[in-house]
């Protein structure tokens, strides 16, 4: 949209008019994704890929710092291997895509395209693990997986998505559980400190846990519309998988033992979470830590002598501490302002002939559009401070939304009325029975998000059956 095709940035559906369409508009118009010719599959465009790379860089650094190593597993899983863990295969059966031909020949055994890689890792562990001295094995891989979803939406639910999946084995159950909870904290740090997304942390109920796991833990983020997004999960497997796949090692007492296993993952779904947590009617608002461009320099009256030179001199200088770009296209300044606002760039820097004369520039924050006239000599301090301030403001706004949309209820009547009045989290007690969890879905349209680590007694009995309560559960509608 430059040169002889100049036009203003296409309008985005208002966020409060049609949230789903607003979301799709941003994904497409901010050029994060494109639809592929295969239904349910999307293409990560350069801008979307750059956001994902920044997320992976941060998390990969955390994992490596704590001793995890990256590996790469095959894409295909033999059917016989998948069938070794009964609960696991039953949990994924409806979503598995199968390969039955290789070239012009029928395969002797069908191969599934990995929906996740527990079986591959267990098969590998059974071949390479021999002694307790090798433990723990802390492995992670960055890859894509395929799950044949019926209803898809960019980032949130696609038939192929990109993620990391960690798989570790340990000498004791205590070490494996410590790993499971440690990684959950890593995920929480990623979301809260870098993506500026406040979270709920806790354990999934039995009916919501990962297929084959003994326990599943999750971080849940609230979106602008009050719905929850499961942003990441970690799973404690005990020794169930290692027994199914005959993974053994010689213990300290020279006896043959089965290791204890974990798995965990976050995906490109986080990008969807960023959009729905921070975006507004003008488009994306990106947290500085993962923004591909943190400062966009827009030269004003760039045809005048010295303006472009000044813009590029600023780029060279600012590049020492920020990701910066100059928009020297021949679109109008107004078009550029709208375009980079839609793309969510945290700071816009405007500089024109009068600014150059005064030795200053204009800085505009993406979140609140506040303008500041800043001396050029002060930019090394002003820009980092503004990026930090913007990040803190994004977190505070999202946290306020979380607090405003969280209610405590004691009876089913209260729960149903609250759920009908607005979308958000409802804290209520629960007896622990799956029948009552199912009734909550049927009567109030709510699913259990998690049993929070931070428990609060909001009543004495389960609002569904009236029996003594065991836990406080957070309920809500989710993506």
Domains and CATH numbers, the chain: 19-75+86-97+117-278 (3.30.930.10), 293-388 (3.40.50.800), 406-476 (3.30.110.30)
Does the pLDDT value for residue 2 go beyond 70? no
| Residue 28 · residue 34 · CB < 8 Å | yes
Instruction: For residue 370, give Cα distances in angstroms to 4, 175, 390, 428, 443.
Output: 32, 49, 11, 41, 46
Does the pLDDT value for residue 306 go beyond 80? yes
pLDDT (tens digit per residue) in 36-73: 999 999 999 999 999 999 999 999 999 999 999 999 99
Over range 20-35, report the average pLDDT. Answer: 97
Residues 6 or more apart in contact with residue 94 via CB below 8 angstroms: 148
pLDDT band at 83 (very low <50, low <70, confident <90, very high): confident
pLDDT score, position 3: 39
Does the pLDDT value for residue 445 go beyond 50? yes
pLDDT score, position 88: 75
Does the pLDDT value for residue 8 go beyond 70? no
> What tokens does 392 get?
């803190």
Long-range CB contacts (< 8 A, 24+ apart) of 379-386? 379/314, 379/317, 379/318, 380/317, 380/321, 383/295, 383/318, 383/321, 383/322, 383/347, 384/321, 384/322, 386/346, 386/347
Does the pLDDT value for residue 424 go beyond 50? yes
pLDDT score, position 6: 42
First to last CA, the chain: 33
Does the pLDDT value for residue 7 go beyond 80? no
pLDDT (tens digit per residue) in 359-389: 999 999 999 999 999 999 999 999 999 999 9
pLDDT score, position 4: 37
Lowest mean pLDDT among 80-89, 387-396, 423-432: 80-89
pLDDT (tens digit per residue) in 152-181: 999 999 999 999 999 999 999 999 999 999
pLDDT score, position 153: 95
Long-range CB contacts (< 8 A, 24+ apart) of 357-361? 361/314
Over range 293-299, report the average pLDDT. Answer: 98
Over range 2-14, report the average pLDDT. Answer: 60
pLDDT greater at residue 84 or residue 266: 266
| Mean pLDDT estimate for the chain | 95
pLDDT band at 9 (very low <50, low <70, confident <90, very high): low
């Amino acid at each position: 949209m430059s040169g002889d095709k100049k036009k203003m940035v296409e309008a985005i559906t208002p966020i409060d008019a049609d949230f789903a369409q607003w979301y799709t508009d941003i994904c497409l118009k901010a050029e994060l994704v494109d639809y592929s010719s295969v239904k349910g599959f999307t293409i990560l465009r350069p801008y979307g890929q750059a956001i994902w790379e920044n997320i992976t860089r941060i998390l990969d650094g955390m994992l490596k710092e704590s001793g995890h190593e990256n590996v790469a597993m095959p894409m295909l899983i033999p059917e016989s291997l998948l069938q070794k863990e009964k609960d696991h295969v039953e949990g994924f059966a409806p979503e598995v895509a199968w390969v039955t031909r290789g070239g012009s020949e029928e395969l002797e055994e069908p191969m599934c395209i990995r929906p996740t890689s527990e079986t591959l890792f267990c098969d590998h562990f059974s071949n390479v693990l021999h002694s307790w001295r090798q433990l723990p094995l802390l492995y992670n891989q960055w890859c894509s997986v395929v799950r044949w979803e019926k209803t898809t939406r960019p980032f949130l639910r696609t038939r192929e998505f990109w993620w990391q999946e960690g798989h570790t084995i340990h000498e004791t159950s205590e070490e494996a559980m410590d790993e499971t909870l440690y990684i959950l904290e890593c995920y929480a740090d990623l979301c809260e400190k870098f993506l500026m997304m406040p979270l709920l942390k806790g354990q999934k109920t039995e009916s919501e846990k990962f297929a084959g796991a003994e326990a599943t833990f999750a971080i849940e983020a609230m979106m602008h519309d009050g719905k929850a997004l499961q942003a990441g999960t970690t799973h404690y497997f005990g020794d169930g998988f290692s027994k199914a796949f005959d993974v053994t090692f010689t213990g300290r007492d020279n006896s043959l033992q089965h290791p204890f296993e974990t798995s965990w993952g976050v995906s490109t779904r986080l990008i969807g979470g960023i959009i729905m947590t921070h975006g507004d009617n003008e488009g994306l608002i990106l947290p500085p830590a993962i923004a591909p461009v943190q400062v966009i320099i827009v030269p004003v009256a760039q045809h005048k002598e010295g303006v472009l030179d000044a813009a590029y001199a600023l780029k060279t200088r600012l590049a020492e501490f920020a990701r910066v770009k100059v928009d020297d296209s021949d679109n109008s300044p107004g078009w550029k302002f709208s375009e980079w606002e839609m793309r969510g760039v945290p700071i816009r820097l405007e500089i024109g002939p009068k600014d150059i004369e005064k030795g200053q520039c204009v800085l505009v924050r993406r979140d609140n559009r506040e303008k500041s006239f800043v001396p050029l000599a002060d930019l090394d301090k002003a820009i980092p401070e503004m990026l930090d301030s913007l990040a803190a403001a994004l977190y505070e706004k999202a946290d306020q939304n979380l607090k405003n949309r969280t209610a405590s209820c004691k009876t089913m009547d209260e729960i149903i009325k609250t759920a009908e009045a607005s979308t958000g989290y409802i804290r209520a007690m629960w007896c622990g029975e799956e029948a009552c969890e199912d009734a909550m879905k049927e009567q109030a349209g709510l699913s259990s998000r998690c049993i929070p680590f931070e428990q609060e007694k909001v009543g004495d009995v389960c609002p569904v059956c009236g029996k003594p309560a065991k836990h406080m559960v957070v309920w809500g509608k989710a993506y």
